[in-house]
């Protein structure tokens, strides 16, 4: 092992916890020869609209130019907003391609014929979950974290503002940054919330209103100056900066509040209300963490980012100066046809921070506790590993509008929210947000929504006669499907899909026929005529086109529906463990689910029922609408087919090793030091897996606040006198 394979610190993963840890450590190492290495299993992702300029005409490279010159693998967000973009989006699944962005996890053991109840969509790429989350940056109510362990420092509440400043937030509920006109979806949702508050005493929104904080750049609505650390807010004593006299300017600056403005100014572009937050922001207005890491790299901070490096084992030897050995598989891309090879490597470090996300981190630590062939002692961890997993009561609920029409393709994914307390108590219970969908998926979603509501009315969705004839003429083999129509139950189709999804032969076949045919040139807007996927485009396009209104816009396709994203406080009683086939998958270097989840929908039925009642109270005020909870079976909860966006837990924090895997600083408990509550030296977990109970809201801000608190503790232990705010700066901004 060369010196290049040894680092002072290694961070596994680059989500909120990983990026915060990386930037803080790189600033702590500035005055030394120490370096931090980031191992990220995914590649870089960015917008195809970023220009690639002749190098002799520029002095400052953008992200695309930097990656091109360094020959670092990268991918583009799915585009354009049509059938071709839809196929590109489908090709970005990590189960089909190791470089894929979306990781569909199905932690259930089909070998034992267990019913599938929970799956999760997570991210794989430099920037982690920030690449695909909906930007919601919301503080959990105090009742959520008041009983979490705190050790010796103040409450977690002291770190939310710092986390908001680090992420950068804005409120976006208008059609543009300089307009007072509300986005129609936001207006309808907030009006319904105000009406519901009159009759529903369980709504908690008070003086803060209904607007969500979003990590997106928008046109600022206050005069702003920049310091070396970021934007600063100017007291608005006069109408505007341009109207200040010299004396007024002097007075204003003397009274200047040296606080960060929530209006982030480090991004060039602003929100264009395209609704693509989960699918990649083409103008680049979202504050994704890949940008922070890129700025840190450009500023020559002492860090290295290694993409397409998936860690599969951690080993510890206390007798070595660098006690942690990390084994990982690096995917080398050989050509533009998708050909790649996997190389096994190891890296040693003195400090280790695991930030792979709840499922990946738990899986890695579980595998590392199993005895390996090299006779080295496996990692010893708390018996709480894998426990306190929570679905965060993630639920999508649809409402069918009878009289109103609304454009749900316009604006950020989420703009507004309503908080509810428990029906029999004072504490917070769940959060409901308005939800939009981008044009790129409007077609298939409209068919899905139509089908769900048809089935709720005991009807079957049929293709029109014209669509029957057109498909039969071009593809006779589809005649039986066409004759019988699309009458299959959605939940049965979903269950069938996950059965197939767990079959590696099925996924390999998809990769060869589907993914390899969907690799257009970087700037291509249209795929070539000889592309093998063209025939599939025609079939799929027929099924997702409204034959009665073939020229309907994406907004028109969804205008009769309203969607709600819901999260709540479940019992946090799920348990993750390794399934029976994980070793075989690892040995064959095959992608596949290695976890299984024990979680009872029946035991958590109460919170889902309360959420649905809360949505009904809002839908009633919108249009007296009937609602459908997607994937939740209220008659037989155990048959529910939930898809999570916020899996939480698995490595919970606790006051001691009997209660958790880590303490409140993210430090991993050492079973050999149980009597003294001892921890491993410089071994931390910083991601959503350490949250010990449901946050009940979007967890990104909570994860960031916890990570900042933990890294402040690390800096203090290293003897740093800098504030945590100083250590979170990725680069110096110009005055």
Token pair, residue 435, equals 């939800």
Residues 174 and 183 sit within 8 Å (Cβ to Cβ):
yes
Q: Residue 394 in 3-state DSSP?
A: coil
pLDDT for 205 beyond 50: yes
Question: Whole-angstrom Cα distance, residue 333 to residue 308?
Answer: 9
Tell me what the mean pLDDT of segment 404-422 comes to: 95
The C-alpha atoms of residue 702 and residue 145 are separated, in whole angstroms, by 10
What share of the chain has pLDDT > 70, as a percent?
78
Q: What is the mean pLDDT of residues 125-133?
A: 97
Distance (Å, whole) CA 595 – CA 576: 7
Phi, psi of 96 (to 5 degrees): -95, -25
Among 43-57, 145-159, 348-362, 412-426, name the most confident range: 348-362
Helix (H) or strand (E) holding 304: strand 303-306
pLDDT of residue 108: 73
Before 80, cis peptide (omega within 30)? yes
Contact 393, 566 (CB under 8 A): yes
Q: How confident is the model at residue 720 (pLDDT cuts 50, 70, 90)?
A: very high
At 596, phi and psi to the nearest 5? -130, 150
pLDDT-derived band at 435, boundaries 50, 70, 90:
very high
**CB contact set of 586 (below 8 Å; sequence gap of 6+):** 312, 367, 594
3-state SS of 27-74 is HHCCCCCCCEEEECCCCEEECCCCCCCCHHHCCCCCHHHHHHHHCCCE
CA 290 from centre of chain:
13
Residue-level pLDDT at 624: 80
| Residue 545: predicted pLDDT | 74
CB under 8 A, 24+ apart: contacts of 462-468: 462/486, 463/542, 463/543, 463/547, 464/547, 464/548, 466/547, 467/542, 467/545, 467/547
Task: Name which of 289, 230, 229, 299 is nearest 26 in CA terms.
Answer: 299
- What residue spans define the domains of the chain? 3-50+58-221+263-437+558-727, 224-262
Token pair 């005069």: residue: 223
Please give the residue that has the higher pLDDT: either 461 or 704: 704
Contact 269, 283 (CB under 8 A): yes
pLDDT on residue 241 = 52
- Residue 201 CB burial class (10 angstroms; 0-12, 13-18, ≥19): exposed
Residues listed for the chain: 735
Query: 66-77 pLDDT, tens per residue?
Result: 999 999 999 999
Round to whole Å and give the CA distance between 569 and 692.
12
Give the mean pLDDT of 297-311.
Answer: 96
Residue 485 has a pLDDT of 46
- Does residue 609 carry a pLDDT above 70? yes
Judged by average pLDDT, the poorest of 68-82, 113-127, 464-478, 542-556 is 464-478
CB 169 within 8 A of CB 177: no
Count CB-CB contacts under 10 A for residue 246: 7
Question: What's 372's DSSP letter?
Answer: P
Average pLDDT score over residue span 139-165: 89
Q: In 10 A of CB 255, how many CB atoms?
A: 10
* Tokens read off for 425: 């108590």
Lowest pLDDT segment from 27-31, 511-515, 539-543: 511-515
> Percentage of residues in the chain with pLDDT exceeding 90?
61
Q: Is the pLDDT of residue 475 over 70?
A: no
Listed in order, strand segments (DSSP E) in 415-461 are: 417-421, 428-435
- With H, G, I as helix, E, B as strand and everything else as coil, classify residue 628: strand
Helix (H) or strand (E) holding 16: helix 16-28
Q: What is the pLDDT of residues 1-27, one digit of tens each?
A: 555 567 999 999 999 999 999 999 999
Q: What values do phi and psi take at 136, rounded to 5?
A: -65, 125
Compute the average pLDDT of residues 202-228.
75
Strand partners, 216: 286
Q: What is the largest CA-CA distance in the chain?
A: 82
Mean pLDDT across the stretch 216-229? 59
User: Residue 482's pLDDT is what?
Assistant: 46
At CA 154, angle to CA 151 and CA 159, rounded to 5?
115
Provide mean pLDDT across the span 480-491.
50
* CA distance from start to end of the chain: 45
198 token code pair: 């009159």
Would you place residue 506 in the very low, low, confident or very high pLDDT band (cuts 50, 70, 90)? Answer: low
Q: Which of 2, 725, 25, 705 is nearest to 351 (CA)?
A: 25
Mean pLDDT score across all residues of the chain: 84
Q: Taking the CA of residue 611 as centre, how many other CA atoms within 13 Å lie in the half-sphere pointing to its CB?
A: 31
207: CB partners within 8 A, 6+ apart: none
Check whether 397 has a pLDDT greater than 80.
Answer: yes
Q: Where does residue 669 fall: left (phi above 0), alpha (psi -120 to 50 degrees), or beta otherwise?
A: beta
pLDDT digits (tens, 9 = 90+) for 661-717: 999 999 999 999 988 999 999 999 999 999 999 999 999 999 999 999 999 999 999
264-269 long-range contacts (CB < 8 A, ≥24 apart) are 264/167, 264/168, 264/169, 264/170, 264/215, 264/217, 264/230, 264/231, 265/217, 265/220, 265/224, 265/226, 265/230, 265/231, 266/168, 266/217, 266/230, 266/231, 266/295, 266/733, 267/168, 267/217, 267/291, 269/217
Pick the residue with more confidence: 555 or 509?
Answer: 555
| Model pLDDT for residues 549-566, shown as the tens digit of each residue | 778 888 898 999 999 999
Q: In this predicted structure, what is the pLDDT of residue 82? A: 85
3-class SS at 211?
strand
- Chain centroid to Cα 132, Å, comes to 5
Residue 238 predicted with pLDDT over 50? no
Residue 243 has pLDDT above 90, yes or no: no
* Residue 87 Cα distances to 66, 77, 91, 275, 518, angstroms: 28, 12, 6, 18, 7
Query: Right CATH number for 3-50+58-221+263-437+558-727 from 3.90.79.10, 3.30.390.50, 3.50.50.60, 3.40.50.2000?
Result: 3.50.50.60
Amino acid 263: pLDDT: 47
């Amino acid at each position: 092992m060369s010196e290049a394979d040894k680092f002072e610190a290694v961070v596994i993963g680059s989500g909120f916890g990983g990026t915060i840890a990386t930037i803080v450590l790189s600033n702590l190492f500035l005055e030394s020869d120490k370096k931090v290495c980031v191992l990220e299993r995914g590649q870089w992702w960015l917008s195809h609209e970023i220009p690639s300029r002749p190098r002799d005409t520029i002095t400052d490279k953008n992200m695309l130019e930097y990656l091109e010159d360094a020959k670092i693998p990268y991918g583009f967000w799915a585009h354009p907003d049509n059938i071709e973009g839809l196929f590109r989006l489908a090709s970005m699944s990590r189960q089909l391609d190791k470089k894929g962005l979306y990781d569909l996890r199905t932690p259930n053991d089909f070998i034992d014929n267990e019913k599938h109840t929970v799956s999760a969509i997570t991210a794989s790429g430099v920037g982690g979950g920030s690449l695909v989350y909906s930007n919601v940056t919301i503080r959990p109510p105090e009742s959520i974290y008041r009983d979490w362990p705190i050790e010796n420092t103040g409450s977690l509440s002291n770190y939310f503002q710092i986390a908001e400043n680090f992420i950068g937030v804005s409120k976006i509920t208008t059609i543009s940054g300089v307009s007072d006109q509300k986005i129609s979806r936001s207006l309808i949702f907030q009006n319904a919330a105000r009406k519901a508050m009159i009759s529903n005493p369980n709504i908690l929104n008070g003086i803060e209103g209904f607007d969500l904080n979003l990590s997106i750049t928008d046109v600022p609505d206050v005069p702003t100056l920049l310091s070396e650390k970021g934007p600063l807010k100017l007291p608005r004593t006069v109408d505007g900066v341009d109207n200040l006299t010299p004396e007024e300017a002097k007075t204003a600056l003397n009274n200047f509040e040296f606080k960060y403005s929530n209006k982030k100014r480090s991004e060039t572009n602003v929100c264009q209300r395209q609704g693509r937050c989960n699918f990649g922001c083409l103008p680049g207005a979202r504050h994704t963490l890949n940008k922070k890491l890129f700025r840190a790299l450009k500023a020559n901070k002492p860090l290295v980012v290694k993409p397409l490096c998936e860690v599969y084992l951690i080993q510890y030897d206390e007798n070595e100066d660098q006690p942690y050995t990390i084994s990982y598989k690096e995917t080398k891309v050989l050509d533009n046809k998708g050909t790649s090879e996997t190389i096994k490597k190891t890296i040693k470090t003195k400090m280790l921070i695991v930030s792979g996300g709840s499922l990946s981190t738990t899986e890695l630590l579980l595998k590392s506790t199993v005895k390996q062939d090299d006779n080295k002692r496996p990692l010893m961890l708390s018996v709480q590993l894998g426990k306190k997993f929570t679905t965060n009561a993630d639920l999508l609920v649809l409402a069918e509008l009878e009289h109103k029409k609304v454009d749900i393709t316009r604006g950020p994914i989420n703009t507004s929210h309503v908080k509810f307390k428990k029906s029999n108590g004072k504490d917070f219970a769940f959060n409901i947000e308005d939800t939009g969908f981008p044009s790129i998926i409007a077609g298939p979603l409209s068919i899905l929504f139509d089908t769900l509501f048809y089935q709720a009315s005991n009807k079957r969705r049929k293709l029109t006669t014209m669509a029957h004839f057109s498909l039969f003429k071009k593809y006779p083999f589809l005649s039986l499907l066409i004759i019988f129509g699309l009458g299959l139950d959605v939940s049965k189709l979903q269950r069938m899909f996950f059965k197939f999804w767990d079959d590696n032969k099925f996924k390999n076949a998809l990769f060869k026929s589907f993914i390899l045919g969907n690799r257009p040139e970087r700037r291509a807007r249209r795929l070539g005529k000889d592309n093998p996927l063209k025939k599939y485009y025609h079939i799929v396009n027929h099924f997702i086109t409204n034959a009665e209104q073939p020229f309907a816009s994406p907004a028109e396709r969804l205008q009769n529906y309203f969607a709600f994203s819901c999260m709540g406080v479940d019992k946090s009683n799920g348990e993750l463990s390794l399934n029976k086939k994980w070793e075989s998958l690892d040995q064959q270097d095959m992608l596949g689910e290695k976890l299984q989840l024990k979680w009872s929908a029946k035991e958590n039925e109460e919170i889902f029922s309360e959420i649905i009642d809360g949505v009904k109270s809002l839908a009633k005020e919108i249009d007296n609408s009937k609602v459908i909870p997607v994937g939740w079976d209220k008659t037989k909860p155990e048959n529910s087919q939930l898809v999570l966006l916020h899996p939480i837990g698995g490595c919970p924090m606790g006051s001691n090793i009997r209660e958790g895997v880590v303490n409140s600083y993210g430090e991993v408990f050492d079973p050999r030091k149980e009597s003294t509550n001892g921890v491993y030296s410089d071994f931390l977990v910083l991601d959503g897996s350490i949250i010990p109970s449901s946050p009940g809201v979007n967890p990104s801000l909570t994860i960031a606040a916890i990570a900042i608190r933990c890294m402040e503790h690390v800096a203090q232990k290293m003897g740093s006198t800098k504030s945590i705010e100083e250590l979170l700066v990725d680069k110096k901004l110009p005055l």
